[in-house]
Amino acid sequence: MENTKKLFIIRHAKAETIPGINDFDRSLTSEGIQHAKQVAAKLASKLTLNDKSMVISSPANRALQTTRVFLDILGEPSFDIQIEDSIYECTYKHLLSVINSIPDHIDDVLLIGHNPTLTDLVEFLTRRAAYLRTSSFAEIKLDVGFTFQMLSGNCADLVQIVD
């Protein structure tokens, strides 16, 4: 039986809004951190990171902080994070091109970024209405036999959105 690949699309946790602070540099609020820990615990009950896993994050401070919260809760605080500069402000089609470059041996991908791009990506891949709130994640299962390089519109299933 072939292994089905999964994509976990995670929106960053709630971030502060302080006049004069650059959007890129915004930090998580304490409430955002707590909510991210709760959601990450739900992910930890169904996923174990290993050498067939990849974590990709936007370089924005709030996305990296969210990534670190999730990795701490998953028990992998030193797991390698692939920081992808181009996903800070991009379209879902660009995000798809990043996903399409993931090597064949990878089975599970955590992609941490921003809305509205993440929600647009979920809807494009699954043809299902979706909305990712802060800290939430969409669990997407690729069709049997599909690799991340083959991923395109309407060829994956939205298993659930957890928030």
Beta bridge partners of 7: 109, 140
Mean per-residue pLDDT of the chain? 95
Q: How far apart are CA 110 and CA 108, in angstroms?
A: 7
Q: Which residues contact 22 (CB under 8 A, 6 or more apart)?
A: none
Residue type, 23: D
Mean pLDDT of 1-16: 89
Asked: is 6-162 a CATH 3.40.50.970 domain? The reply is no
For residue range 75-96, list pLDDT tens digits in order: 999 999 999 999 999 999 999 9
Q: What percent helix, strand, coil does the chain show, rounded to 5?
A: 35, 20, 45
Range from 50-59, 110-119, 133-142, 143-152 carrying the lowest mean pLDDT: 143-152
pTM of the model: 0.96
Taking the domains of the chain in order of start, what are their residue ranges?
A: 6-162
What digits encode the pLDDT tens for the residues 42-71?
A: 999 999 999 999 999 999 999 999 999 999
So what's the pLDDT on residue 2? Answer: 56
Sheet holding 81-83, edge to edge: 81-83, 53-57, 108-113, 6-11, 137-142, 156-162
